[in-house]
Chain A
Amino acid sequence: MTQPPIQGAPIVVHSLVRHFGSGDNLVAAVDGVDLVVEQGEIFGFLGPNGAGKSTIVRMLTTLLKPTTGHALVAGYDIVKQADLVRRSIGVALQDSAIDPLMTGTELLELQAVLYGIPRAKMHARASTLLERVGLTAAANRRVITYSGGMRRRLDLALSLIHEPTVLFLDEPTTGLDPMSRLALWEEVRRLNREGTTVFLTTQYLEEADQLADRVAIIDHGRIVRQGVPKELKAKVGAPTLVINVSAPQQDLAKSVLARFGEMRPTDEGSLAVGLIAGATGVAEVVRALDEAQIDLHHLELNEPSLDDVFAEATGHRLEGATPTAEQTVK
């Protein structure tokens, strides 16, 4: 019917460029982006504020025309077949774009009409979705009374009204408290398990790491790294093994550690080594230290983070990348 089988990947972007302004004020917000999102993936789009994430989402969701380049979403051209793209995708944009004067049910039913869902199916669909995002009790209250988390959940429900095959989530958890964030992540995972391809932008490393099968890191309008988070991190280098031993044994411990990789700078009183063998090498290090009769007070293995990947690729760190509350919740 509306959606023919998608030939190839649901999102294919080729040399996409978007300029703003002109003359001396010309800014290339998106500066030649290529990417492919495969069927059934959660694709994380990671970058600082102003890197061009939202501009790409706005182009892929037909809200903005590219300056040059082209893209296929759900197999349709985003410029020439914008209407068909719109029928195939669900979009939850930044700041939960919701009219505060309407009730949850009213918004869902309006959304249903906008997507041409027959009246007969409309009510059932709306109440199913409200239940799914846990808003049944608040369904007939005006949105102005909703909390931030409730708004995001309603936003998500709205974007699902027509059972889209591709879902765009633009910074879905920005400004949410840790519990609401976890609940939203769970819902996104569930949708993905049911077969929806998800394109997610975020400025939170943790979010990309937790949710995404693959990530692209964007900075200044260009993709600087792209791939599976684990592999990207692995490429940055070996994980860092940090140990604490008593002061008199420091030199001895250092000579033992040096056999397993390059020594790395760390806090005073600790020793750190880039463990070439990775996590599997830890046992061997412990055995070696034991054989040398060294008393181990503390040991930790730090995997490279996406922030390390970002820093390695761009030369600067991502804002707001410091661990936040949800990591302890997890």
Chain B
Amino acid sequence: MTTSVLSAPQQHKTRDGLRQTYALSKRSTLEIFRQPALIAPSLIFPLFFAALGASSFGRTVGKVDGLKDVSSFLEFSLASTIAQGVLFGSTTGGTALATDIQNGFMDRLLASPSTRVGILIGRLAGGSVFGALQSIFFIIALYPFGVRIQGGIIAVLIMVLSGALIAMSLGGFMTAMALKTGSPEAVQGAFPLIFISLFFSSAFFPRESMSGAYKTIADYNPLSYLVEGLRVLTLQGLTTQSMAQALLIPVAIGVGSFALSLRQLSNRLAQL
């Protein structure tokens, strides 16, 4: 029997698991950049909306509650531009997973002795790397138009990390959707839901300026606090609360969505 190429399972299990996760992450990251047509809209559209918003609502600065101490609407928009872009991008990973399921590549992964958690993290990692790069891209792209980050380099790092975490946490929902349906179309179809939830938050306009049922929804929407955290980092500077909002909210969402994905994965194995 030829067993020479295999390493012993027990002592190397953890190391193998990390290697596998790394290799799968590398794959999903490379894949994103091999499909420029898929990622271009998630870079261009948020910038278009930022430009549109700055020209349309520039006059509200200084006059509307929540915008009174803001120097430019574009600066106010950076946080929502990042959130919006990362949200756009987060469908890519879910769609790719659904495609893997459809063309059978997922079966190949599952039939190998790699860990289930590793397969999922590997799938989400590409989106996560892209989320971080998107944050950097938007910060750099808006810099020539006078957008400055008051929190300095640490705030920039937190925003980049936050981008990665948002991508991973929302990507988790897309992954769960992909595992449940196995259809790329269904994953794309679920995208408006996430987009709507961003609209019913304070992402695009301050919560202070809202009223009625709309304000209530925005008050309960965790995305409001996430974007507000990023916004404080941009407009005011480093505060413990803003850092916590920018990082812990996506982590909390991520724990939930990742658990959901794992569950869908084991359902898939049992019921399919």
Judge A-B direct contact (beta carbons within 8 Å): yes
A residues with a Cβ closer than 8 A to B are: 1-3, 5-6, 58, 61-65, 83-84, 86-87, 89, 91, 93-102, 106, 109-111, 113-118, 121, 125, 142, 158, 161-163, 165, 195
Most interface-central of B6, B24, B31 (chain A CB within 10 A):
B6
- B9 near A: Cβ within 8 Å? yes
- B2 near A: Cβ within 8 Å? yes
Most interface-central of B7, B103, B113 (chain A CB within 10 A):
B113
**In whole angstroms, what is the CA distance A94 to B105 when docked?**
10
* Distance of B231 from chain A, by nearest CB (Å): 36
Chain A residues with Cβ below 8 Å from B5 are: 117, 121, 125, 161-163
Using A65-B269, A86-B113, A91-B111 as known contacts, say yes or no to A117 and B27 having CB atoms under 8 A apart.
Answer: no
- B114 near A: Cβ within 8 Å? yes
- B12 near A: Cβ within 8 Å? yes
What residue of chain B has the Cβ atom nearest to residue A5's Cβ? B1
A3 adjacent to B27 (CB under 8 Å): no
B105 adjacent to A98 (CB under 8 Å): yes
Using A63-B111, A93-B104 as known contacts, say yes or no to A2 and B9 having CB atoms under 8 A apart.
Answer: yes
- B35 near A: Cβ within 8 Å? yes
What residue of chain A has the Cβ atom nearest to residue B108's Cβ? A97
* Distance of A1 from chain B, by nearest CB (Å): 5
Chain B residues with Cβ below 8 Å from A125 are: 5
**In whole angstroms, what is the CA distance A2 to B9 when docked?**
6
**In whole angstroms, what is the CA distance A222 to B171 when docked?**
42
Chain B residues with Cβ below 8 Å from A98 are: 103, 105, 108
Q: Pick the 8 closest A-B CB pairs, nearest first.
A: A97-B104, A113-B23, A114-B112, A86-B113, A116-B16, A163-B2, A91-B111, A114-B114
**In whole angstroms, what is the CA distance A111 to B34 when docked?**
20
Interface residues contributed by chain B, number (CB under 8 Å): 37
What residue of chain B has the Cβ atom nearest to residue A83's Cβ? B113
**In whole angstroms, what is the CA distance A87 to B114 when docked?**
9
Using A1-B8, A163-B5 as known contacts, say yes or no to A115 and B111 having CB atoms under 8 A apart.
Answer: no
* Distance of A142 from chain B, by nearest CB (Å): 8
Q: A-facing mask of B73-111, CB < 8 A → 1, else 0?
A: 000000000000000000000000000100111111111
**In whole angstroms, what is the CA distance A5 to B114 when docked?**
23
B3 adjacent to A94 (CB under 8 Å): no
**In whole angstroms, what is the CA distance A62 to B6 when docked?**
19
Using A110-B27, A115-B113 as known contacts, say yes or no to A99 and B105 having CB atoms under 8 A apart.
Answer: yes
Q: Could you list 5 A-B pairs, sorted by A, with CB under 8 Å? A: A2-B6, A62-B110, A86-B112, A118-B7, A163-B4
Chain B residues with Cβ below 8 Å from A87 are: 6, 9, 113
**In whole angstroms, what is the CA distance A158 to B34 when docked?**
22
Using A63-B107, A87-B113, A97-B108 as known contacts, say yes or no to A116 and B1 having CB atoms under 8 A apart.
Answer: no
- B37 near A: Cβ within 8 Å? no
